[in-house]
A and B are shown apart, each in its own frame.
Chain A
Amino acid sequence: MSRIAARFAHLKRERRGALIPFLEAWDPDGPTSTALLRGMPGAGADLIEIGMPFTDPMADGPIVQAAGKRALDAGVKMTDVLGMVRDFRAGDDATPIVLMGYLNPILSYGPERFCQDAAKAGVDGLIVVDLPTEEADMLLPFVTANGLDFIRLVAPTTDDARLSHVLSGSSGFVYYVAITGITGTRSASSDDLAEAIPRVRRATDLPVAIGFGVRTPAQAADAVRIADAAVVGSALLDTLAANLDEHGRARPGAVDKVLDQVRALAEGIRNAKVAA
Chain B
Amino acid sequence: MNKAVPPQGLDGGRNSLRTGPNERGRFGEFGGRFVAETLMPLILEVERAYNEAKADPAFQADLDRHMTHYVGRPSPLWFAERLTQHLGGAKIYFKRDELNHTGSHKANNCMGQILLARRMGKTRIIAETGAGQHGVATATMCALFGLPCTVYMGATDVERQAPNVFRMKLLGAEVKPVTSGAGTLKDAMNEALRDWVANVRDTYYLIGTVAGPHPYPMMVRDFQSVIGEEAKRQMQEAEGRLPDAAVACIGGGSNAMGLFHPFLDDTSVRLIGVEAGGHGIETGQHAASLTGGRPGVLHGNRTYLLQDDDGQITEAHSISAGLDYPGIGPEHSWLHDIKRVEYVSATDQEALAAFQLCTRTEGIIPALEPAHALAHVTKLAPKMDKDEIVLMNLCGRGDKDIFTVAGHLGVKL
Contacts and interface: CB of A to CB of B under 8 A. Distances in A.
Interface of A: 54-59, 61, 65, 72, 77-78, 102-109, 129-135, 138, 152-159, 162, 166, 177, 180-182, 185
B42 interface: yes
B38 A104 contact: no
Interface string B15-32: 000000000100000001
Nearest to B25: A134
Interface in B273-301: 295-300
A141 to B, nearest CB: 10
B194 A132 contact: no
A108 B313 contact: no
Contacts of B298: 56, 104
A77 B36 contact: no
B contact face: mostly helix, strand, loop, or mixed: mixed
B197 A59 contact: yes
A173 to B, nearest CB: 15
A179 B307 CA distance: 31
Given A131-B34, A132-B40, A157 B200 contact: yes
Contact of A105 (B33, B198, B310): B310
Given A130-B35, A185-B198, A58 B193 contact: yes
A104 B41 CA distance: 22
Contacts of B24: 134
A132 B34 contact: yes
Contact of B198 (A56, A138, A182): A182
Nearest to A130: B34
B313 A129 contact: no
A57 B33 CA distance: 16
Contacts of A55: 181, 312-313
B121 interface: no
Contacts of A135: 32-34
Given A108-B309, A135-B34, A153-B37, 18 more contacts: A55-B181, A56-B298, A56-B299, A58-B299, A104-B313, A105-B311, A105-B312, A107-B295, A130-B35, A132-B37, A134-B32, A134-B40, A135-B33, A155-B37, A177-B36, A180-B38, A180-B200, A180-B201
27 contacts: A54-B311, A56-B190, A56-B298, A58-B299, A72-B312, A78-B310, A104-B297, A104-B298, A104-B307, A105-B312, A107-B311, A108-B310, A130-B34, A132-B34, A132-B40, A134-B33, A135-B34, A155-B37, A157-B39, A157-B40, A158-B40, A159-B41, A162-B40, A180-B38, A180-B197, A180-B198, A182-B198
Q: Which of A78, A104, A159 has the most CB of B within 10 A?
A: A104
Given A58-B190, A59-B197, A72-B312, A107 B297 contact: yes
Contacts of B300: 130
Nearest to B180: A65
A108 B35 contact: no
B37 A108 contact: no
Contacts of A102: 297
Interface residues of B, number: 37
B197 A182 contact: yes
B194 to A, nearest CB: 5
B41 A106 contact: no
Nearest to A105: B311
Nearest to B39: A157
Task: Across the A-B interface, give the 4 residue pairs with the lowest CB-CB distance, nearest first.
Answer: A108-B311, A105-B311, A155-B38, A181-B198
A66 to B, nearest CB: 9
B42 A132 contact: no
A35 to B, nearest CB: 23
A3 B36 CA distance: 26
A213 B185 CA distance: 28
Given A77-B310, A180-B197, A180-B200, A104 B37 contact: no
Contacts of A180: 38, 197-201
A133 B41 CA distance: 12
Contacts of A103: 34, 297
Nearest to B26: A135
B304 to A, nearest CB: 12
Contact of A54 (B35, B36, B312): B312
Contacts of A57: 190
